[in-house]
Amino acid sequence: MEKREELSDALLDGEHHRRIAILLLTQEQCGFCEQAKEILGRLSTEYWLSVSMLDMGSPEGQRLAVEGGLLFPPGVLIDGEPFSYGRLSERKLRRELDRRLGFVGSPPYVLLCMHHALT
């Protein structure tokens, strides 16, 4: 029992347990924007994400897009850093989230917790 508690404590410490801020730059009538929203909705159940949206046509959206080299919507910024634009790759985003959380080569946090709860 102590071993599981130690592992749980280790998982909750540091980088493994922090909220990742994702900003989605969108525009109206954008099919890839809708797809990106669906992907982020799914990933929000697996990762601790703070997702916000901003119209790419707004002054702030235009500024962020130009500064980040995000040529067309949807533009994705992770913790303020440009990540991608256009069709969002769920696989690429998962890899980046796992990398930022230190789970490269390991399953995501939620899967580890579920596994240890069952054992």
d(CA 48, CA 38): 16
pLDDT digits (tens, 9 = 90+) for 55-113: 999 999 999 999 999 999 999 999 999 999 999 999 999 999 999 988 766 555 555 56
In the prediction, which pLDDT does 113 show?
A: 60
Structural domain boundaries in the chain: 2-118
**3-state secondary structure (DSSP) of residue 79:** coil
Does pLDDT of 1 surpass 50? no
The count of other CB atoms within 10 Å of the CB of residue 15 is 9
- Output phi, psi for 78, to 5 deg: -115, 120
| Joined tokens for residue 110 | 């939620």
Classify domain 2-118 at the CATH class level. alpha beta
In the prediction, which pLDDT does 114 show?
A: 56
For tokens 């917790």, the residue is 113
CA distances from 8 to 51, 95, 100 (A): 26, 22, 19
d(CA 74, CA 55): 9
What is the value of pTM for the model shown?
0.74
| Joined tokens for residue 77 | 């910024």
pLDDT digits (tens, 9 = 90+) for 17-51: 679 999 999 999 999 999 999 999 999 999 999 99
